């Protein structure tokens, strides 16, 4: 008997048996109590399931399915025909160049591959389009041209303000002429983090760490009341967090130095910028104390002390004489800063001091700056000056044997050694500002942890 006949016979037998069982169950149910109905109902559904399994057909064997091969000849497109179509089509190119110092419009368009007399004339004569000639060196300029050099559009970023940057767009209009528009585009703000190690000087370290020059200057201003930058040494390091602003992947400008830490001679100084609102803000230590001191450590950003506050042989008279100030060696023209807020009491020549500025502060304090080569614009008697403001430039006027700054710190017009004067910091944050400040400080502390993983690892190993 074939396999298929056996399955048909088994299915028929199973079906007959199931029908017999159902008939018997129905007969018995008539003489039973209602409580016995449920078990027999379950039996009924079980027998039906057996019957369903018995009669389910089997899937055909895949090996017995018919196979049919279909072949079709496809015509390949002609390569020569495709190339000829591409040649006939107008090609477009987008090119980008940096504006260089001394660039003329002709040299700039030539580097960009623009060979379009009408476009060049438009850029020269249109009052809006002419601003392309005012774009500063280093700016990126992009153009789209045809393969013949015909200008389709031009795009260049111009200097803007804090809210965004202006972009000049020159494009063809419907009459095959040109139109120029200036649009203000929002800048993308990024937070950058950098680390540096002192090998020789701060600026060498910042250059090596790819830190922009404006941020390096802000590092000095951030720590000028707590670190003497004349005494940096190999092994000192710093970490900084600052903001930058970008447009279309191009750095437009740097922003504020948000936070920094500086390890100098084994001591760690940390600072964070805190915006107090209404345009006011300042740098604070991580515990909320202001870093602004009453007086700067030095009126010059970078120099060395050539003569301290002590007895010495006068370089001109050759006699022992008390030196009533501190001499800072520096090249002529180095900016001199007011060491504290005050009012200019004197600005002009004064005997052996040469060109001199005296600034009067509070509580009988005053500072004097001598041997200047020239005064800063606006430095005259009665003018209010703020801490860090440039009031003059290093020179060698008066009784001087070379360019340097003679700096005096006076109390009630008596010269005193500024290194022995205890200066107070500005007021700490108010209690209601501390909660918001702690959030800012915690974020910066976390960033510093990310900047020095190898130092943290070394500390953990030493602690075990």
Q: What angle do CA 348, 306, 220 make, to 5 degrees?
A: 80
Calculate what percentage of the chain has a pLDDT beyond 90. 33
pLDDT over threshold 50, residue 117: yes
Average pLDDT over residues 366-374: 94
Average pLDDT over residues 368-383: 94
Among 61-75, 325-339, 352-366, name the one with the lowest average pLDDT: 61-75
Task: Give 406-446 pLDDT, tens digit per residue.
Answer: 999 998 888 888 777 665 555 567 778 888 999 999 999 99
Chain-centroid distance, C-alpha 160: 18
Closest CA to 149 of 126, 118, 115, 182: 115
Calculate what percentage of the chain has a pLDDT beyond 70. 75
Among 30-44, 139-153, 289-303, name the one with the lowest average pLDDT: 30-44
Torsion of CA 446, 450, 455, 457, to 10 degrees: 90
Task: Give 42-98 pLDDT, tens digit per residue.
Answer: 544 444 444 444 444 556 677 778 888 888 888 887 888 777 777 666 678 888 888
Alpha helices in 248-371 (DSSP H): none
Determine contact, residues 337/295, Cβ cutoff 8 Å. Answer: no
For the stretch 373-377, contacts whose Cβ atoms lie closer than 8 Å and that sit 24 or more positions apart, written own/partner, are 373/332, 373/333, 373/397, 373/403, 375/347, 376/335
CA distance linking residue 404 with residue 303, whole number of Å: 9
The predicted pLDDT at position 121 comes to 93
Sign of the CA dihedral with 20 first, then 21, 26, and 31 last: positive
The 10 Å Cβ neighbour count of residue 198 is 18
The predicted pLDDT at position 13 comes to 56
- 3-30 vs 37-55: helix axis angle to the nearest 10? 170
CA-based radius of gyration for the chain: 43
Average pLDDT over residues 354-368: 91
pLDDT over threshold 90, residue 338: yes
Task: Give 280-290 pLDDT, tens digit per residue.
Answer: 678 888 888 88
pLDDT over threshold 70, residue 11: no
pLDDT over threshold 50, residue 364: yes
Among 8-22, 84-98, 160-174, name the one with the lowest average pLDDT: 8-22
pLDDT over threshold 50, residue 223: yes
The tokens describing 412, both together, are 């009630």
Q: Which residue has the higher pLDDT, 31 or 366?
A: 366
The tokens describing 342, both together, are 């005050």
The predicted pLDDT at position 464 comes to 42
DSSP state of 419: G
pLDDT over threshold 80, residue 463: no
Confidence category of residue 319, pLDDT binned at 50, 70, 90: very low
Determine contact, residues 391/246, Cβ cutoff 8 Å. Answer: no
Chain-centroid distance, C-alpha 421: 39
The predicted pLDDT at position 57 comes to 53
Give this prediction's pTM: 0.52
Among 21-30, 145-154, 290-299, 340-349, name the one with the lowest average pLDDT: 21-30
The tokens describing 208, both together, are 């090596």
The predicted pLDDT at position 68 comes to 84
Average pLDDT over residues 7-18: 51
CA distance linking residue 132 with residue 182, whole number of Å: 11
Question: Residue 64 burial (CB < 10 Å; 0-12/13-18/19+)?
Answer: exposed
Q: Which residues are CB-contacts of 195 (< 8 A; sequence separation ≥ 6)?
A: 209, 237, 238, 239, 240, 451, 452
User: Measured between alpha carbons, how far is residue 285 from residues 109, 193, 392 in Å?
Assistant: 52, 19, 31
- Element holding 280 (H helix, E strand): strand 280-284
Q: What is the mean pLDDT of the chain?
A: 79
Q: What angle do CA 184, 186, 187 make, to 5 degrees?
A: 125
Among 39-53, 220-234, 236-250, the range with the most confident prediction by mean pLDDT is: 236-250
For residue 358, the cross-strand partners are 346, 368
The predicted pLDDT at position 207 comes to 92
Determine contact, residues 207/233, Cβ cutoff 8 Å. Answer: no
Q: What angle do CA 382, 383, 389 make, to 5 degrees?
A: 145
The predicted pLDDT at position 402 comes to 86
Closest CA to 242 of 274, 270, 218, 267: 218
Three-state secondary structure call for residue 442: helix
The predicted pLDDT at position 424 comes to 54
CA distance linking residue 211 with residue 103, whole number of Å: 28
Confidence category of residue 462, pLDDT binned at 50, 70, 90: very low
The predicted pLDDT at position 298 comes to 82
CA distance linking residue 382 with residue 384, whole number of Å: 7
The predicted pLDDT at position 363 comes to 80
């Amino acid at each position: 008997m074939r396999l298929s006949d056996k399955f048909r016979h088994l299915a028929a037998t199973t079906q007959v048996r199931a029908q017999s069982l159902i008939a018997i169950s129905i007969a018995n149910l008539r003489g039973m109590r209602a409580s016995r109905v449920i078990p027999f109902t379950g039996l009924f559904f079980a027998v039906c399931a057996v019957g369903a399994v018995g009669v389910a057909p089997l899937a055909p064997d895949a090996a017995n399915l018919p196979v049919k091969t279909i072949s079709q000849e496809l015509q390949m497109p002609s390569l020569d025909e495709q190339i000829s179509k591409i040649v006939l089509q107008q090609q477009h190119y987008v090119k980008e160049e940096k504006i260089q110092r001394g660039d003329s419009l002709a040299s700039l368009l030539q580097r960009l591959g623009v060979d379009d007399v009408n476009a060049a004339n438009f850029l020269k004569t249109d009052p809006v389009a002419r601003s392309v000639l005012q774009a500063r060196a280093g700016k990126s300029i992009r153009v789209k041209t045809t393969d013949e050099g015909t200008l389709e559009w031009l795009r260049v970023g111009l200097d803007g303000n804090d809210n965004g940057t202006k972009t000049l767009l020159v494009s063809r209009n419907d009459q095959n002429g040109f139109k120029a528009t200036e649009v203000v585009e929002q800048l993308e703000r990024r937070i950058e983090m950098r680390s540096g190690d002192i090998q020789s000087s701060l600026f060498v370290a910042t250059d090596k760490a790819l830190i922009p020059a404006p941020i390096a200057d802000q590092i000095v201003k951030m720590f000028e009341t707590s670190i003497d930058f004349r005494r940096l040494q190999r092994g000192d390091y710093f970490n900084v967090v600052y903001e930058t602003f970008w447009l279309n992947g191009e750095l437009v400008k740097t922003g504020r130095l948000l936070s920094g830490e500086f390890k100098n001679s084994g001591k760690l100084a940390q600072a964070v910028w805190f915006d107090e609102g209404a345009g006011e803000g300042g740098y604070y230590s991580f515990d909320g104390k202001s870093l602004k001191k009453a007086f700067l450590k030095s009126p010059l950003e970078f120099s060395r002390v050539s003569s301290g506050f002590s007895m010495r042989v006068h370089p001109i008279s050759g006699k022992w004489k008390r030196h009533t100030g501190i001499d800072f060696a520096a090249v002529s023209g180095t900016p001199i800063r007011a060491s504290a807020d005050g009012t200019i009491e004197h600005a002009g020549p004064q005997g052996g001091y040469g060109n001199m500025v005296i600034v009067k502060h509070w509580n009988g304090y005053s500072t004097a700056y001598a041997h200047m080569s020239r005064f800063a614009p606006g430095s005259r008697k009665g003018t209010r000056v703020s801490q860090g403001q440039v009031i003059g430039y290093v020179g060698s006027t008066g009784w001087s044997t070379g360019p340097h700054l003679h700096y005096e710190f006076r109390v009630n017009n008596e010269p005193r050694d500024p290194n022995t004067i205890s200066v107070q910091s500005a007021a700490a944050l108010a209690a209601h500002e501390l909660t918001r400040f702690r959030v800012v400080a915690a974020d910066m502390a976390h960033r510093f942890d990310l900047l020095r993983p190898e130092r943290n690892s070394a500390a953990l190993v030493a602690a075990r």
